Amino acid sequence: MSKAPVCPESGKPMVRDTRPMEISYKGQSTTIDMPGWYCHESGESIHTAEDMKVSDAALKELRLEVENLLKPQEVKRIRKKIGLSQRDAGTILGGGPNAFQKYEQDTVTVSKPMSNLLRVLERHPEEVEELRKHS
């Protein structure tokens, strides 16, 4: 939006701003700085697709924390520590040959079972060879 939109409630021009917004997931909350178009009179807001990326990313981060899932950089760190390529990790541990590329690029969120398996293998990397025998 290049021109300021008009508030649907007050009919006044809206202003571009960043305001605090609380997001929640399974009873846990966090406050983020949410960009958008805001109306001083009515309190209404309009958020573009680009604005929504901010809240989507924050919600994803909160979900990882609440559900105790590994973050992409943790998946990569553990995979490297246990000596597997992305392709081998997907084949041996599950998810398919491209799964770990997707986990590490943050296009797919790693599951709870995979997070737990990686945590166990981080402490017991010798078990990778046992899993390799059965893949």
Going along the chain from its start, the domains and CATH numbers come out as: 15-66 (3.10.20.860), 72-133 (1.10.260.40)
Instruction: Over range 110-114, report the average pLDDT.
Output: 97
Residue ranges of E strands in 1-135: 15-25, 28-38, 45-46
Task: Read off the pTM.
Answer: 0.82
Q: Is the pLDDT of residue 1 over 70?
A: no
Q: Which residues of 19-46 are buried (b: 16+ CB within 10 A; e: fewer)?
A: eebebebeeeeeebebbbbbbeeeebbe
Q: For the segment 21-67, what is each residue's pLDDT rounded down to a tens digit?
A: 999 999 999 999 999 999 999 999 999 999 999 999 999 999 999 99
Distance CA(68)–CA(80), nearest Å, equals 21
